[in-house]
Amino acid sequence: MRIAVLAGGRSSEHEISLTGGGAVAAGLRAVGHEVLEVTLLRDGTWVHDGAEVALQAGRGLLGADVVFGVLHGPFGEDGTVQGLLELLDVPYVGSGVLASAVCLDKVVAKELMARAGIAQVAYVGIRAPRWEQEREAVLAELTGLGLPVFVKPARLGSSVGIAKVVAADALGAALDAAFVHDPCVIVEAMSAGTEVECSVLGSARSAEASEPGEIVIEADWYDFAAKYEPGGMRLKVPAGISAGAREDLRATAVAAFAHFGCSGLARADFFVEGERVLLNELNTMPGFTPTSVYAKLWEASGLGYAELVERLCRLAIERHADERSYRF
């Protein structure tokens, strides 16, 4: 197959994406595929082989059979690039426009989880106009969450812009800081549970969950440094949770994947408090090197990196054909 690998992007996860893109390209080449590397520069332009890529609706991308976008965060994992690839009419790895957008928006995702009866922490979503007009009323409402709370921009990743607030008088400043990143902010009650992650692979019709792994960190919480500095995090597989919690977690990961309408892949992140399994979020394009959690969990479940990227490309082609079989 001829596969275009997209990496870089406009978000703060640009460098992380380049590392992931390089790994995917190497993995695909190792099993004999032709790889076209496309870099999405921070200014929004797309470059291949030193030249700007010409994008024409309905004309595919550089003659690729499938596109593997290893992009994280805004303008990459949030449905925007997925929409562009739909218009180019080329199969691409991962979730479509809506599921990508929903999973990247912490408030919308949590509203949908609530409707599906998926257990999660208590939260409050706040839009900028309300914060500007009713600051005191918002702060009063937030006391219902107790302390500590986590304050987050609704649509970032890699823990960028997130603050753990332990004292009520620090809450206003934390909200102001989060609103610098996004016009919508979420405040969540803290879970003291163990952080456990599970990889999901498959289609909207049928998906499977990997062996779950536990995130072991020295830091107080899983912040940017813990995520990306060497030794910041250790993945423990299997996770130190009960057999019942493990089954509940794997079933919830697959159920949430289906409920959000995901396809291809997602990493489902949880807090586990004894037998209580709380879903934190689904990442539709998680970190994707062979040493990233997503791939390591599949490795531990008997599926190697090269086979994993291959499976994802096949799922992308199947989904593209399937979606175009509907009348519109």
Ligand X SMILES: Nc1ncnc2c1ncn2[C@@H]1O[C@H](COP(=O)(O)OP(=O)(O)O)[C@@H](O)[C@H]1O
Q: Which two tokens stand for residue 321?
A: 């054909």
13 touches ligand X by CB under 6 A = no
191 touches ligand X by CB under 6 A = yes
The Cα–Cα gap between 299 and 291 comes to 10
User: Which is the catalytic residue, given 10, 13, 96, 195?
Assistant: 13
User: Nearest CA to 261 among 297, 207, 186?
Assistant: 207
SS3 266: strand
Could you confirm whether 267 is annotated as catalytic? yes
292 touches ligand X by CB under 6 A = no
User: Which is the catalytic residue, given 222, 287, 305, 319?
Assistant: 287
DSSP 228: H
SS3 55: coil
**Are 251 and 119 a contacting pair, CB within 8 Å?**
no
Which residue lies nearer to ligand X by CB, 55 or 147?
147
* Burial class of residue 230, CB neighbours in 10 A (0-12, 13-18, 19+): exposed
* Residue 279, strand partner residues: 270
Q: What amino acid occupies position 135?
A: R
Stretch that binds ligand X, among 22-30, 82-90, 149-157, 307-315 (CB under 6 A): 149-157
Residue of 13, 105, 195, 248 that binds ligand X (CB under 6 A): 195
Could you confirm whether 311 is annotated as catalytic? no
294 touches ligand X by CB under 6 A = no
* Burial class of residue 234, CB neighbours in 10 A (0-12, 13-18, 19+): exposed
12 touches ligand X by CB under 6 A = no
SS3 246: helix
Residue of 159, 208, 228, 314 that binds ligand X (CB under 6 A): 159
Which residue lies nearer to ligand X by CB, 90 or 293?
293
157 touches ligand X by CB under 6 A = yes
The Cα–Cα gap between 320 and 302 comes to 27
Residue of 65, 119, 221, 314 that binds ligand X (CB under 6 A): 221
User: Which is the catalytic residue, given 37, 182, 197, 269?
Assistant: 269
4 touches ligand X by CB under 6 A = no
The Cα–Cα gap between 251 and 249 comes to 5
289 touches ligand X by CB under 6 A = no
Please work out the total of residues on this chain that contact ligand X, with binding judged by CB under 6 A.
Answer: 17
197 touches ligand X by CB under 6 A = no
Residues identified as active-site? 13, 158, 228, 267, 269, 281, 283, 287
Give the binding site for ligand X (CB under 6 A): 121, 150, 152, 156-159, 162, 188, 190-191, 195, 221-222, 269, 280-281
